[in-house]
Amino acid sequence: MQKSSFWLLLLTLLVGCSAEQNSSQLQQIYQRDSIKVGILHGPTSYYVGIDGPVGFELELSQALADQLGVKLELYPSYQLDDLLQKLAEGKVDYIAGGLTLTEQRKAQFRATPAYRWINEVLVFRQGETWPRTLDDLTAPIVVVKDSSHSETLRQLQQEQPDLAWQEDNHLDSEEILQQVIDGEVAYTITDSNQLALNRRFYPQLSIAMTVKDNLPVSWLLSNSTDDSFFAVLIEFFGNVYQSGALITLEDKYFGHVQDFDYVDTLAYIDAIEQVLPRFRPLFEQYAGELDWRLLAALSYQESHWNPVAKSPTGVRGLMMLTLPTAKQMGVTSRLDPEQSIRGGSRYLHRLFSRIPERIPMPDRLWFALASYNIGWGHVEDARKLTQGMGADPDKWLDVKVQLPLLRQRRHYQHTRYGYARGDEAVTYVENIRRYYDTLLWVDERQQAELRIEQQKIRLSEQLDSATLPEIEPEIIEN
């Protein structure tokens, strides 16, 4: 290579490096064609479900990437410290994880507009003595190290110097809640939305008191003077607010878990262990295109898995079919578990096929479930009422607000099918969603435990075959 060519190449590289260093954060995102997101593992933000990665924060970040027309690169972690380090080193553009915007975080980081609000609550195990005030605590409060909860406790300790608490550097919030259930930890502080999700699986978690309320949740960015990407985020959150996309997303992940029934949840988890195994093969056999666990959740809402259940209106069996519906589905005995499950699944599939294909999942599924309860005609009436009021008839979030109006004469007298208990249909769908979520969790936990046990058996067999010496036959001489 000639000297002139060498120096030209070097100059080009230096100019390129300088341009990259001087380019704004938004320009860098477009240059690499991706947004890099540090995201916390957990049920309120990001987790790997049966069909792959899902979560509120994941979908919200994907919406941002779609708006910018770039790819989404995820950097998941169970530890916030790990993500904060990546943010400081410029390896991620922002951190998402349902993070409470505390005073300390405001001082250290830049934050997006708040997109959710939560309460911090003190939690203990049902059956233990209920601490009415912080003075009633009989053991230290345990929280995740350097979390928003530890900052809250530091503030509380200024007013109550005797307040005892510990920070754990090895456990996350989910694991500490598990230790509360196991009796290894007496108290912890958690976010209200996280508690609502976990009470589907651990109904023994009880709220002692609200420690702080109405706290904003935001994404965190580095404290930079570069406003290019920050301006995009302000516009993005303004758009998702105004379009209703944020409310729809929140309803998808959290809308069905706000109401909690301790006795019902406890009874359901017990039924999963004791009753479901008898009928599970039938749910799996006749689920068709749907998840068998959804069909099982529907059946529990209908009959609590009682094959001879009967309502005052005459519906019967595991899937609580009316006599006309049973005949249409080819069911000759509604009390026969196999016929009932087969007929109920066929009926649900028929209703599902009637929902307009333009309606996306999971809204299409929620409409089908509501139709199973009060009939497609009444659901269609509610959708027309929704449209007449200027809302979206294809969104379950909008229609479920109008369904209760089918009880009111001034509304139902103008509909095709008239009166219906639309409010009960809303509760019906939300209950099934909760039952389905709980069953997913229990089933996945059982499968994970089974895989671990099988791995232990295989490892044991491999060790036995590798270490045991060959045994020579014993020769007995006379």
The catalytic residues are: 302
Residues 400 and 369: beta-carbon distance below 8 Å: no
DSSP state of 369: H
Helix, strand or coil for residue 404? helix
Measured between alpha carbons, how far is residue 358 from residues 78, 124, 319 in Å? Answer: 37, 46, 28
Alpha helices in 334-388 (DSSP H): 337-354, 363-374, 376-388
72, β-bridge pairs: 35
The token pair that represents 163 in the structure block:
């307040």
Helix, strand or coil for residue 243? helix
35, β-bridge pairs: 72
Q: Which residue has the tokens 């089933």?
A: 443
Q: Is 375 left (phi over 0), alpha (psi -120 to 50) or beta?
A: left
Cα(237)–Cα(94) distance, rounded to whole angstroms? Answer: 14
Q: Is 26 left (phi over 0), alpha (psi -120 to 50) or beta?
A: alpha
Q: Containing H/E element for 427? A: helix 422-467
Cα(210)–Cα(120) distance, rounded to whole angstroms? Answer: 6
